[in-house]
Every structure is written in C-alpha cells, then in structure tokens.
Amino acid sequence: MPSPPRINLKTLAEHLGLSITTVSRALKDGPEVKPDTVARVKQAAATLGYLPDAGGVYLRTGRTMKICSVFFAPEVADYGDAGFLAQVEGVSRTLETDSYNLIVLAQTASQSPLETVRRVFQQRLADGIIFSRTTPMDERARFCLEFKFPFVSFGRTELHSPHAFVDHDDEGGVYDAVTRLAAEGHKRIALFNPTGGMTYAGFRLRGYQRALADLGLPWDRSLLVTSPLSVWASQAAMGDLLARDTGVTAIVCANQLSMFGAMDAAQEQGRDPAQGDLRIIGFGGMPFRMPFEQGVTYYYQPQRRDGEELARHMLALLQGEPAESLQTVLPYQRIDDLQRFRTDLRTQAMAEARRP
Amino acid sequence: MPSPPRINLKTLAEHLGLSITTVSRALKDGPEVKPDTVARVKQAAATLGYLPDAGGVYLRTGRTMKICSVFFAPEVADYGDAGFLAQVEGVSRTLETDSYNLIVLAQTASQSPLETVRRVFQQRLADGIIFSRTTPMDERARFCLEFKFPFVSFGRTELHSPHAFVDHDDEGGVYDAVTRLAAEGHKRIALFNPTGGMTYAGFRLRGYQRALADLGLPWDRSLLVTSPLSVWASQAAMGDLLARDTGVTAIVCANQLSMFGAMDAAQEQGRDPAQGDLRIIGFGGMPFRMPFEQGVTYYYQPQRRDGEELARHMLALLQGEPAESLQTVLPYQRIDDLQRFRTDLRTQAMAEARRP
DNA sequence: CCAACAAATCAAAACGTTTTGGATTGTGCG
DNA sequence: CGCACAATCCAAAACGTTTTGATTTGTTGG
C-alpha cells in the first residue's frame, strides 16, 4: 500500500495543467492571474490539501515564520513551573494571528544559554527568539544585538543599546510586601532570591533594601537567602535559615516553587503558617492550592498575559518597529485572600465558558 | 553599525579559497578530502561559528531533524499541567543524543487536532510527530498511517494497523485503587473520567467495572462523573456529585488537576478528606503539595520518563524499526504515603545533586 | 617518456518556493 | 489590416545544502 504522493507546487501545477508560477501566484491572489484560474487553483489546493513547504518558502523568502521560545529545562528536575505553559499558550495564540508558529526549544543542562541562541540564529531555526532568566549583561542579548537578530527578553538588562523586553515590577512588589509586613509588626523579614545572577533578583533586593531604609529597619545580610528556585533547593535553604535564626517571622519568596519549599521547611521546623507562626509572601503565576493559604499574601502575575505581551513585541519588532517603544514593565496584583481570589476567578471563568 | 555577515558554505569556501563541495565534505569527514584540509576547514568553521542552515539541509536531504510534540493549550485556561514540561524535558534530552530538535506546537482551541498534524506533515515542519489525548479511532493516527508519517501516540488506539505508542496502565491502576478502597470498606466509589473520548478513559472505566464485578459491588451509572480535567470544571462536576449523592465515600480522580478540583469541592461541601470524610485517589505526575495529603492515595507516573520513552520510540521509528516493537504500557507506582514519598525523593535528589 | 591510476578538488544539479523578466494571446483602436 | 496594449501565463534564477559526475594534479609502472 503506497502512501499518497506529497503535494507540492509542481504536482499541483501538473494536475491543473498550469505552470508553477501561475499556481504560486493564484494562491496569493496575484492580480496577474485570471480570477477564474485563481478559483480553480484554490479549489484544487484545498481538496488536495496543499500547504506550502516551510523549508522551500524560507529558502526563497528568508523567513521561517517561526518564533523560538527557550524553555529552561533543568528547573523541571523535580516540579515544573506550570506557569511557563500558560506563557507558551499566550505567545502561541498571539503569534497565530500573524500566522507565525511557536517552537519551544528546551535548554538542557548540557548546553550553554548562548549556544542555544546562536544555534537558532545560525541554523535559521526561527526569525526571532524569546528568552527568560535575563541577566544585567546578558550575553544572549548582546549576541542578538550584534547580529541584529530580533529578540524579546523576559526580564530587563543593563545594556546600553535599547531592546524589547517584558518584565515585572519586582522592585515595587517586594517594596510593597516589606512595607506591609512591617506595618503588621514584623521586624525580621527574610528575602529569598534566586541564584543565577538574573536582573530581577537585583530589583527584588533593591525594593527590599529601599523599604527597610524607608522604614528605619536595619539591613541584615544574613536575612538574604539565595538558592535555586526548585522546591527542594529552596526548602533546604529555608530550613537552614529558620534553624539558625529563630527570630525570622516573615519570608518574601520568589516564585511559586520556592513558596512551596518555604512551607515545607516551616512545617519541618514546627512552625505553622496557618497559626500565624510565619508569614509567607509569594510571587508568581496562577497559584496552586496550598496547605496554608491563610498566612499567605500572593503577588500575582497572569503569565498568559506575559506571553501575549512578549509575542506582541516580537511581531512588532518583525514589522520594523523600534525596540525603544517595545519595553513593558507590568505591575503585580496583590492578593490578600487567596481563597476569595480563587472563587472570584472561578465564577468569572465559568461565566466565560458559558457564553462561547 | 552593520551586523556581521551570516556565514554559509559559500562565504566559508571563499574565505578558505576552496570550493563549496570540498568544504561541505570536509565538515563531515569525507574520505575524499585531504586530512590537512579537513582540519583547516573545521578550524575556520569553528572560529567563524558556522552551523548548517536548517532550511538548506532539509531541502537537499528531505530531513528537518526536528520532531514535533503537540501541546494541548486549551487545558491551560486556568492551571497548566506542569507534568507536560517534565515530559518535554524527557523528550528533548533524548532527541538531543541524535541531534534532533524538539519543536512544541501549541494546539489552541481554534484549530482541530487533525489540522495541526496535517500542517506538520504537509508544511514539513518536522520529520515526525508526538501527540497525546489519543482516541480509539484517532483521526490523527489514521492520517499519519495513511501518509506513512512517523508518529508516536501517547495513549493507545483501537486501529488495526500497528503503530508506536506509549501509554499507562490505567485499567490496572483503577482496578487496584477500587479493590483497595473496597477492602477499606468503601461501598459507593465514584469514578471521575475526562471528556474528549480519549482511549484511556475507556480503560479506566473497564478497570473500574471489572473491579466492581470481581468485588460483587453493583455498577451504578450515577457514580461515573465525566468533565474536562481543569481544576474548575472538575470542582463543579465533583460538587454536583457530592451534593446529589451524600453516600459517596471515595473518588477516583483522573489527573492532578481534577484531584485539586475534587478537594476544593469536598471542602465546599463540608467534607474534610483529612478527617476521613472522603477518600481521594489521584493519578498523574509528580504531585504538588496539597492541603489534605493524609486522605490521598496517589498513582504516580514519572512524566520525564514518559518523554524519554516517547522520544526513544520516535528515534527508533526514524531508524526504520517496525512499529510493532515500539509499544509500551507503563505501570503506575502506588504511593500510600505522599509525605514519605516526597522526603524520599528529596534526599535522593539532594544526593544526586551533590555528586555531579 | 607515456600511459594508467589514485588523490584531491571542483562544477553543476537538485530539493520547493517566490519573483523577475519574457512570452503569448486576445482586444481595442486608428 | 496592423499596431499598441492589456491580460494571462510561463521559463528561469535564486536561496543553502548535499551529491553525482567530471576535472585537475601527482604518482607509479612499464
């Protein structure tokens, strides 16, 4: 049983008794071809299921019609950050409107971040790239700038040349959190920060220190804890802190996973957030349901919207818009009552689902 | 400031004073080229950062060196299934060994599943495709079989032609769960199943009914609840069930999200799994920490390993191995004590992290 | 010294597409 | 009728790569 032949412009042209040129033109409504023929060609293309070969189109036009988003896989070692999928959905849906495809490249532990970007550029895997874990002097950003390769970074840099980015206001978020904790009477507030030299860790620290200064609280180096953001690593780091410093009454966590880690550590040390033994502040995307939601304030960022913004910037870049005008810093939304927030979202989603 | 020129075989050849042919051959250690020249070419390629243009290679060889994995985006509407990322990592890492790239295509709500597969095939976006949400008469599988397009389905079909797949033993898992619940004294055990006609829903039902029959329990249609697997949808469906049938003492959930939904629903109905008011059985990947872990038995499936198996099958297919020999059904691992399981995994992971 | 042969390199074709520049036909007008 | 011109269509080139077949150079044996 031979498989049906693959349809390309040549076979389509032969089947119609036309030239390749005419068929190609007809498919994009070229004015030089008789309306009659256009209809006939489109009809045949539809029934035969013709779609242009992406490799061929690229070779001729230089455009792959693909955008690459880099997925940092080592972080998935234990739990994955579910929020990335929401971001992927946002990116994908937005790109779709301009008939771009998203390709997600997994950055495994064995490749350097720059290698991945270089490969995308040099092998022409995509027309542009989106990456996160951005550092102040990000080498990937520098590479893209040098080779004029379109990119949007999730996170700011400190590079001189302007470039497109989407970021969260981590400085503002942490400042707000610390201020409120102090108002509640907390004196020893720990800040949990990721390792890896990401720019936003610096913003978080700045917000923390600025709040302390404004509040007249002392800056204590030992209250700054840094570790990878996996559940286990942050649990270990948090456990260390809580064991060596029993005076800590509040922790400002980084992402959702580190919040889980903090909770596990608190429980292990016999401190129950639900009983008010420890205040936990979380940051991140749509929060999963947790054991101790009462003692938690959460700074929320809808990651699907992040993805949409990233994609919009990318599409604008490809349209030739200047990068200067494609820089977004999104505020966090503070949630004091997670339970209520959840039910509100639910009723909202149910209502949306009802009217399609 | 002009950007550096892109390096291709032509520029590389000119730069070396050689022909394109010789450079191409040298880069793949062709025996017809002088060892001296090979070294010179490779040196130049490395310093100039040459990598072959993927589009050009494809056009000539017919191989894109890419594998596509379809991501079902509508499910992310509220919470995403973090496990998919673990699977992606597994696939990606395994493909890497044969220098294949993974591209993740997001299947949004606006495209039919078949359309996505057809596009990958016809536009030549990849050399093979991996998809999930497999149905007994899966049209995507039928399409791939007809056109002899390599694919591995995550989930079985009932098609006559054999094809490669990876699946879990859902029938066995549910049978085991129901049997144990009955041994604990439960009489009214609800089964939660996904909508969408996926094959594994049928296996789950079969395991459920077989267990009931073996145990001499009656089959009660009203104990079978079907709904989409998002947190909110399953909470609503579970709420309905618990409200209309107060005799239910145990629920066999589908994935992790539906388990969260069931817990929310239980709480809403004033039934506390921690107090033994309701037994909840979960299925899925690495479980997030939950409010009521005491009343939960979890059937675990390491999704990274699923990904690795999917990728291995795909690579084998592309090597020409027959699909008959590429069919895997993986057993679930029952976890009665989630707390202990978690700490075990943690110590294990920490030990691994210590010796790199 | 020349034929025969191996070693090393190269020119050209092909993949599927778009586009440039022609070619062919049909129509209107002087 | 003959010419210009529009309306259609088509051949060929180009993109970057691999591979087939040919060509050049160097070496060996008679």
Residue with tokens 């286990």: A232
Tell whether the model's pLDDT for residue A195 goes beyond 60.
yes
A48 with A135, same domain: the answer is no
Give residue B78's pLDDT.
52
Residues 6+ apart with CB under 8 A from A275: none
Asked whether residue A284 falls in the same domain as residue A186, the answer is yes
Check whether B223 has a pLDDT greater than 80. yes
> Are residues A192 and A287 both part of a single domain?
yes
A17 touches strand D (CB under 7 A): yes
Beta bridge partners of B68: B103, B129
Residue contact A76–B304, C-beta within 8 A: yes
Largest CA distance in chain B: 84
A74 has pLDDT over 80: no
Q: Give percent above pLDDT 90 in chain B.
A: 70
Calpha distance A240→A110 (Å, rounded): 30
Tally the domains of chain A.
Answer: 3
Strand D contact with B122 (CB < 7 A)? no
Measure Cα distances from B63 to A48, B57, B119 in Å. Answer: 23, 7, 16
Q: Which residues in A lie closer than 8 A to residue B101 (C-beta atoms)? A: 105, 125
- Would you list the DSSP string of B236-276? HHHHHHHHH-TT--EEE-SSHHHHHHHHHHHHHTT--GGGT
Of A242, A272, A294, which residue constitutes the final position of a domain? A294
Interface test with chain A among B104, B230, B290, by most A beta carbons within 10 Å:
B104
| SS3 at position A9 | helix
- Is the pLDDT reported for residue B158 higher than 70? yes
Has residue A192 been placed in a domain?
yes
Confidence class for position A91, pLDDT limits 50, 70, 90:
very high
Tell me whether residue B1 is in a domain.
no
Partners of A71 in the beta sheet? A106
Q: Which of A108, A85, A118 is nearest to B92 (CA)?
A: A108
Task: Compute the radius of gyration of chain B from its Cα atoms.
Answer: 25
B64 touches strand C (CB under 7 A): no
Rounded to the nearest integer, the mean pLDDT of chain B is: 91
Give the one of B78, B82, B260 whose C-beta lies nearest to A79's C-beta.
Answer: B82
Section A27-52 average pLDDT? 91
Pairwise CB contact (< 8 Å): B71 & A85 = yes
Q: Closest protein residue to C13 using CA and C1' atoms?
A: B60
**Confidence class of residue A289 from pLDDT cuts 50, 70 and 90?**
confident
Examine the domain organization and report whether B312 and B289 are in the same domain: no
Does residue A54 have a pLDDT over 60? yes
DSSP three-state, residue B343? helix
Q: Is the CB of B10 under 7 A from strand C?
A: no
Q: Do A89 and B76 touch (CB under 8 A)?
A: yes
> pLDDT per residue over A147-158, tens digit each?
999 999 999 999
Q: Which nucleotide is nearest to A22 (CA to C1')?
A: D9
Q: Which residue is nearest to nucleotide C10 (CA to C1')?
A: B19
CB-based burial of residue B158 (10 Å sphere; 0-12 exposed, 13-18 middle, 19+ buried)? exposed
Report pLDDT digits (tens) over A232-258: 889 899 999 999 998 999 999 998 889
Query: Shortest CA–C1' contact from B6: which nucleotide?
Result: D16
Nearest-neighbour CA in chain A from B272: distance (Å): 13
End-to-end CA distance of chain B: 43
Domain that holds residue A317: 66-167+304-332
Assigned domain for A159 exists = yes
The tens digit of pLDDT for each residue in A257-269 reads 899 889 889 988 8
| CATH number (domain holding residue B159) | 3.40.50.2300
Instruction: Give the torsion through C-alpha atoms of B79, B81, B82, B84, to 10 deg.
Output: -150
pLDDT band of A80, cuts 50, 70, 90: low
Positive or negative, the Cα torsion across B59, B61, B65, B66?
positive
Beta bridge partners of B107: B72
Task: Determine the distance between A36 (CA) and D5 (C1') in angstroms.
Answer: 22
Give dist(CA A74, CA A305) in Å, integer.
Answer: 24
Q: How far is the CA of B26 from the C1' of C4 (A)?
A: 28
Judge if B192 and B257 occupy the same domain: yes
Provide the CATH number for the domain around residue B34: 1.10.260
B299 beta partners: B283, B334
Number of A/B CB contacts below 8 angstroms equals 189
Q: Which amino acid is at A1?
A: M
Whether A177 and A154 share a structural domain: no
Contact residues on chain A for B345, CB-CB shorter than 8 A: 78
A54 touches strand C (CB under 7 A): no
**Is B214 in the same domain as B282?**
yes
pLDDT of residue A349: 72
Same domain for A105 and A125, yes or no, is: yes
User: Does A76 have pLDDT greater than 80?
Assistant: no
d(CA B311, CA B317): 10
Q: Which residues of chain A are within 8 Å of residue B80 when distances are taken between CB atoms?
A: 82-86, 89
Q: Which nucleotide is nearest to A59 (CA to C1')?
A: D15
* Structure confidence at residue A131 (pLDDT): 97
Sign of CA dihedral A218, A223, A229, A231: negative
Strand D closer than 7 A to residue B55 Cβ: yes
Residue B340: both structure tokens together:
């202990």
Best CA proximity match to A254, nearest among A337, A174, A336? A174
Nucleotides in chain C with any atom closer than 7 Å to protein CB: 7-12, 14-22
Identify whether the C-beta of residue B273 lies closer than 8 Å to the C-beta of residue B295.
Answer: yes
- The identity of residue B186, as a single letter, is H
Per cent of chain A over pLDDT 90 is 71
**B61 within some domain:** no
Residues B200 and B273 in one domain: yes
**Which residue type is seen at A179?**
T
Q: What are phi and psi of B296, to 5 degrees?
A: -115, 135
Residue B269, pLDDT score: 87
- Got the DSSP string for B110-146? TS-HHHHHHHHHHTT--SEEEE-S--TT-HHHHHHHH
Nearest C-alpha of chain B: how many angstroms from A237?
12
- Give the residues across from B250 on adjacent strands: B189, B279
Between CA A52 and C1' D4 the distance (Å) reads 39
Assign residue A124 a region (left: φ > 0; alpha: ψ between -120 and 50; beta: otherwise). Answer: left
CA-to-C1' span, A34 to D6 (A): 13
Question: What is the structure's pLDDT at B177?
Answer: 98
Write the single-letter amino acid at B321.
E
Task: Give domain status of residue A299, yes or no.
Answer: no
Q: A8 — phi, psi (to 5°)?
A: -130, -175
pLDDT of residue B44: 93
Give, to the nearest 10 degrees, the angle between helix B9-16 and helix B35-48: 120
Domain for residue A342, yes or no? no
The closest alpha carbon to A253, from A229, A270, A218, A269, belongs to: A229
Nearest to A251 by CA among A214, A204, A206: A204
B43-60 confidence digits (pLDDT tens): 999 999 999 999 999 999
Task: For residue B187, name the pLDDT band (cuts at 50, 70, 90).
Answer: very high
Most confident of A171-180, B22-31, B93-102: A171-180
Q: How many CA atoms lie within 13 A of A211 on its CB side?
A: 27
Provide the CA B31 to C1' C11 distance, Å, integer.
19
- Looking at residue A342, its pLDDT comes to 82
Distance CA A42, CA A30 (A): 12
Confidence of residue B111 (pLDDT cuts 50, 70, 90): confident
Band (pLDDT 50/70/90 cuts) for residue A355 is: low
pLDDT band at B126 (very low <50, low <70, confident <90, very high): very high
CA/C1' separation B129–D10 (Å): 38
Cβ contact A90:A305 at 8 Å: yes
Domain shared by B183 and B288, yes or no: yes
Of A104-113, B22-31, B296-305, least confident by mean pLDDT is A104-113
Residues B219 and B288 occupy one common structural domain: yes
The pLDDT score that the predictor gives to residue B352 is 72
pLDDT band at B160 (very low <50, low <70, confident <90, very high): very high
pLDDT of residue B80 exceeding 70, the answer is no
Neighbours of A226 (CB within 10 A): 15
Mapped onto helix, strand or coil, the DSSP state of residue B318 is helix
Residue of A nearest to B81 (CA): A82
Query: Measured between CA atoms, how close is B67 to chain A, in angstroms?
Result: 11
> Cβ of B14: how many Cβ atoms within 10 Å?
12
- Rounded to the nearest angstrom, the minimum Cα separation between B169 and chain A is 23
> ∠ CA(A333), CA(A336), CA(A340), 5° rounding?
100
Q: Looking at the domain assignment, is residue B339 inside a domain?
A: no
Nearest-nucleotide field for A7 (CA, C1'): C16
Please name which of A122, A220, A252, A7 lies closest in space to residue B53, comparing C-alpha atoms.
A122
The dihedral region occupied by B155, where left means phi > 0, alpha psi between -120 and 50, and beta the remainder, is: left
**Mean pLDDT for chain A overall:** 91
Residue B287: pLDDT band (50, 70, 90) is confident
Same domain membership, residue A144 and residue A195:
no
Name which of A343, A265, A339, A236 is nearest A296 in CA terms. Answer: A339
Tell me the C-alpha distance between B284 and B261, whole Å: 14
Neighbours of A72 (CB within 10 A): 20
* DSSP, residue by residue, A63-99: ---EEEEEEEGGGGGSS--THHHHHHHHHHHHHHTTT
pLDDT mean over B211-233? 93
Is residue A320 pLDDT above 90, yes or no? yes
Return the DSSP state at B3. Answer: P
For the CA of A100 and the C1' of D13, the distance in angstroms is 28
